Amino acid sequence: MRKQASREIARERIEILIANALHEIKEDDHLANCHSRLAKKIAMRTRLRLPYEIRQLYCKRCKQFISPGKSARIRIGRSSIKAIRITCLKCGHVYRKVLNIKKNRLSSLQVASSRE
Ligand SMILES: [Zn+2]
C-alpha cells in the first residue's frame, strides 16, 4: 500500500520534471538535461517504466534529452509506410520510428500532424 503511494508520487514528479525540461530546453539545454536525468533516476529507483512519450525524448545512444526541433531533427519517410527518422543532433545517432497504431500519441510533438 505504501509502495503504491510512493510510486504515485514518483510518477507525478517525473511528469513535472519532464514538463519542465521540455520548457527549459528552449533556453537552457543544460538545465533541461539535469531535470530529465533526474526524472530518469527517479524512475529507476522506483522501478517505474517511463511511458513511451517520455522514453522517446531520450537519445538511445547518448542518453541525452532531445527535443524535436531543438536537439533532434525529424524527417518523415517518403515511402508508403509511415515512418519518421529522428536524428539526435548531439551525437548524430539516427533512428527510425514507424507510425502505425495510435499515431495520435505523437501529436503532442507535432510530428504527424502535417501528414494528416
Ligand atoms: Zn544522441
Cα dist from 111 to 25, 44, 69, 73, 89, whole Å: 18, 28, 10, 11, 17
With a CB cutoff of 8 Å and minimum separation 6, the contacts of 94 are 85, 86, 87, 88
Q: Give the lowest-confidence range in 23-37, 51-65, 93-107.
A: 93-107
Contact call for residues 65 and 21 (beta carbons, < 8 A): yes
CA of 91 relative to ligand 1 center, distance in Å:
4
CA of 9 relative to ligand 1 center, distance in Å:
29
CA of 95 relative to ligand 1 center, distance in Å:
10
CA of 2 relative to ligand 1 center, distance in Å:
37
Q: Are residues 50 and 68 in the same domain?
A: no
CATH number (domain holding residue 24): 1.20.5.420
The residue segments making up the domain with residue 65 are 58-116
Global confidence as pTM: 0.72
CA of 94 relative to ligand 1 center, distance in Å:
8
Q: Are residues 46 and 77 in the same domain?
A: no
Mean per-residue pLDDT, 23-28: 90
Q: 110 pLDDT exceeds 70?
A: no
CA of 33 relative to ligand 1 center, distance in Å:
12
Q: 17 pLDDT exceeds 70?
A: yes
Domain count for the chain, please give it.
2
- Final residue of a domain: which of 16, 32, 55? 55
pLDDT at 114: 44
CA of 1 relative to ligand 1 center, distance in Å:
38
Give me the chain's average pLDDT, please.
83
